[in-house]
Amino acid sequence: MTDSLETARHPETLKRVCIEPLTRVEGHGKVTLLLDDDNRVRQARLHVVEFRGFERFIQGRPYWELPVLVQRLCGICPVSHHLAAAKACDQLVGVDVLTPTAEKVRRLMHLGQVLQSHALNFFHLSSPDLLFGVDDPVAHRNIVGLIQDHPEIAKQGVLLRKFGQEVIRITAGKRVHGTGALPGGINKHVSAQERDLLQADIDQVCNWAEGAVQLMKRIILRNPEYHYRFGAVDANTLSLIRPDGAFELYDGGLRVRGPQGDTLMDHQDCNNYEQLIQEEVKDWSYMKFPFLTQLGPECGWYRVGPLARVNNCDCFHTPLAEQERQDFAAAGEGRPLQAALATHWARLIELLHCAELIRELLADPDLQGTDLRLSGAMRSKGIGVVEAPRGTLFHHYEIDGDGLVTRANLIVSTTNNNQAMNTAIRQVAADYLSGRELTEPLLNQIEVAIRAYDPCLSCATHALGRMPLDIELQDAAGLTLDRLYRHPDGRLGRSPVLDS
Amino acid sequence: MLSREVSDVSAKPRVATASLCGCFGCHTSLLDIDERILQLVDLVDFDRSPLTDIKTVGDCDLGLIEGGVANTENLEVLRAFRRHCRTLVAVGACAVNGGVPAMRNALALRECLEESYVRGVGVYHPGIPRDPEIPLLLDRVHPIHEVVKVDYVLPGCPPSADTLWTFLTAWLSGQPIAFPYTQIHYD
Ligand code: SF4
């Protein structure tokens, strides 16, 4: 099986191919492949090459700084970190239930976050691949090409993202690294004027979101065999769930389902995450490999994010998203969809759900309430879990009697997907690359599988983007046999035998 | 005088952007120019940037750097930007002074690594990753001016979209760069 591709037996006898840095992912990562003399892939690894050390350097800081400090992990989903930290701080200040205004404003903020991040991934990053094909010229396969060829789609993407950012600005104070959530509540409500501003656009936003789901369905139907097969990995799935089994992003219990859709755990209390999950360290990556303790490191790894969430939930409580979910479930013919590219479909169903739910929430007069913040008896430990755009996000803090942090543990969404992404690239390497000659479109397939997970290596690390491509083929002695690279204008170049 | 020199007068100015040890929030803020991005792609060509697939930074008129310098790879990217960009801008607190990631400078690097990979909650199979495939960490996080010469700084965490737009449009028109108070007012 593809798992055997994690570690080759005699690496010193194999050729090394390196894809570095990965392009159009958020963060710095690279993939190495080891090939034998017949170009068969013997080892494939996704390495995360960045480390920042938040868990240590926030020790000694006062707990109330956490929501504004820790969101600097990620400028793409800062609200998710802001809220996970705030939820942990709610426990620290002894508040189990927020005021209705605080809870609803926070939920609204988070819906804006998920909506903007999903729009960014689909329209700005992924749609060029999906619309133009993976072997479209590199110089054209980007947002500029999208603006030229499909100006209407590009404009809708930009404006959907803008709307999500405006929801964040109004609820959190500013678009990136806002300050809206406080331990025990929030610091401002949504005024009637601000509500009117958002309400003016929300119907249009719902229509565009609906259009995006239909667009993705048309893309899949153009070549269903490819879209359902590519990077398909049988995985356990983990996500938050409501008490009634419905889709949830802000607060709930944990559900785990097996690869066939059988429920392995349900409504688990997030406060017990330490008993449920452990993280394995591997020498070759700064990103750890989480697994379910009960199943062990071999079988206990899991997928999080849109694909996991839409597979895991029993229903959506908004009509349009629920209708789309039923179509999605039907496509799996009784099993959960496991294909990497089905993630884009699930992502857009979620985007539609966020738009519908924002419309519902905006009509709620509690947003204009003035009861913003509660406090209780201080506790020494707080755990906050939310569904960030890319999946389940865990924040865990402990404090001393002075309120200073003594211990912290963060498991970010992309880390939760570490093994799933590694397995997906091994699958693609075995299916499409093994035994063939090295070309850019072939290697790009590896990246397409990674991108479908929308990894935010920035959460553990940094940098969105279509970054450079430079692939070197070396023999066992480290001698470069072949080199494939992109010129600054996007053309591909090849320079054989560099260092002889 | 603040005028832009362009090698080929008929060509659009080329702009490159990169994130080093930052959170990508400064790039997010750049995207927050919203509809103005449709205008921007008419005014400039993007070189290496999150928005293109271009590998190495080519000769550019403007380079925007987010994030400080935390490892050997950051160093290489920053030096390549300085070599190829006529004007180099430090964007955001991390590039300007190291930002939040530089909070680790008060500690020994080993302590931070041990917290994550050895002593941390739920760590299985502890050990600090040291495979040759992952780049070496520097013992401190440096602001970019400690490594290369910087032409402009845009402070903020992140600088707002309007601040970035004011800068870009002034730079493109060759006008002196002046910001209204609201754009240099921080939280
Ligand atoms: S300055 Fe702020 S927004 Fe910019 S990269 Fe650093 S932490 Fe992120």
Instruction: Verify whether ligand 1 is closer than 6 Å to residue A174 (CB atom).
Output: no
CA distance B10 to chain A (A): 17
Q: Is A57 within 8 Å of B50 when comparing Cβ atoms?
A: no
Contact A463 B22 (CB under 8 A): yes
Q: A474, A480 in Cβ contact below 8 A?
A: yes
Distance CA A22, CA B120 (A): 28
Q: How far is the CA of B93 from the centre of ligand 1 (A)?
A: 6
Chain B positions in Cβ-Cβ contact with residue A59 (cut-off 8 Å): 115
Ligand 1: distance of its center to the CA of A226 in Å? 39
Report A:105-124 residues touching B (Cβ under 8 A).
Answer: 120, 124
* A462, A474, A495, best to mutate vs chain B, most B CBs in 10 Å: A462
| Residue of minimum CA distance from atom 6 in ligand 1 | B94
User: How close is the nearest chain A Cα to the Cα of B112, in Å?
Assistant: 5
Q: Which CATH class is domain A54-429?
A: mainly alpha
Query: In ligand 1, which atom is closest to the CA atom of B26?
Result: 4
pLDDT at residue A20 in the model:
65
Burial grade of A393 (CB within 10 A; 0-12, 13-18, 19 or more)? buried
Residues of A in contact with B40 (CB under 8 A): none
Residue of B nearest to A273 (CA): B122
Q: Which atom of ligand 1 is nearest to the CA of A177?
A: 3
Tell how strand B14-19 and strand B45-46 pair up. parallel
Pair of tokens at residue B152: 């402009």
Residues of chain A below pLDDT 50: 1, 458-471, 475-476, 485-492, 494-500
Q: Which residue in A has a C-alpha nearest to residue B122's C-alpha?
A: A278
Give the distance from residue B168's alpha carbon to the nearest chain A alpha carbon, in angstroms. 18
Q: Tell me the chain B residues in contact with residue A486 when contact means C-beta distances shorter than 8 Å.
A: 53-56
Residues in chain B closer than 8 A to A277 (CB atoms)? 122
Q: Which atom, in ligand 1's list, is nearest to the CA of B22?
A: 5
Contact A30 B52 (CB under 8 A): no
Q: Is B25 in the pocket of ligand 1 (CB under 6 A)?
A: yes
B158 in contact with ligand 1, CB cutoff 6 A: yes
Our CA-based measurement puts residue B3 at a distance from the nearest CA of chain A, in whole angstroms, of 25
Amino acid A240: pLDDT: 98
Q: List, for residues A102-152, the tens digit of each pLDDT value.
A: 999 999 999 999 999 999 989 988 888 889 887 788 778 888 889 999 999
**Which A residues in the span 380-409 are in contact with B, Cβ-Cβ below 8 Å?**
396, 407, 409
Q: Say what the ipTM of the complex is.
A: 0.92
> Residues 231-260, chain A: which have Cβ within 8 Å of B?
none
A55 in reach of chain B (CB within 8 A): yes
Sequence ranges of the domains in chain B: 14-102+139-183
CA B17, CA B2: separation in Å to the nearest integer?
Answer: 21
Residues of chain B with pLDDT under 70: 1-10, 53, 55
Q: Residue A62 Cα, ligand 1 centroid: separation in angstroms?
A: 21
- Whether residues A281 and B124 touch (CB distance < 8 A) is answered with yes
User: Which A residues in the span 343-362 are in contact with B, Cβ-Cβ below 8 Å?
Assistant: none
What is the model's pTM? Answer: 0.90
CA–CA min distance A176, chain B (Å): 6
Which residue in chain B is spatially nearest to A465 when comparing CA positions?
B50
Using CB atoms and an 8 Å cut-off, which of residues 30-89 of chain B contact chain A?
A: 31-32, 34-35, 37-38, 41, 46-59, 66-67, 70-71, 73
In this prediction, residue A24 carries a pLDDT of 61
The number of the ligand 1 atom at minimal distance from the alpha carbon of B156 is 1
Q: Where are the domains of chain A?
A: 1-49+430-464, 54-429, 471-500
Nearest ligand 1 atom, CA A75: 8
User: What is the reported pLDDT for A2?
Assistant: 54
Report the CATH architecture of B14-102+139-183: 3-Layer(aba) Sandwich (3.40)
Residue B100 CB–ligand 1 contact under 6 Å: yes
Q: How many CB atoms lie within 10 A of CB A370?
A: 7
Tell me the residues of chain A between 188 and 217 that have a Cβ less than 8 Å away from chain B. none
> CA A20, CA A35: separation in Å to the nearest integer?
17
A–B interface: beta-carbon pairs under 8 A: 246
pLDDT at B55: 65
Going from the Cα of A175 to the center of ligand 1, the distance in angstroms, rounded, reads 13
User: Is some CB atom of chain B closer than 8 A to the CB atom of A51?
Assistant: yes
Interface touch A488/B50, C-beta < 8 Å = no
How close is the Cα of B26 to the center of ligand 1, in Å?
6
Which of B:84-143 have CB within 8 Å of A? 99-101, 103-104, 106-107, 109, 111-117, 120-131, 133-135, 137
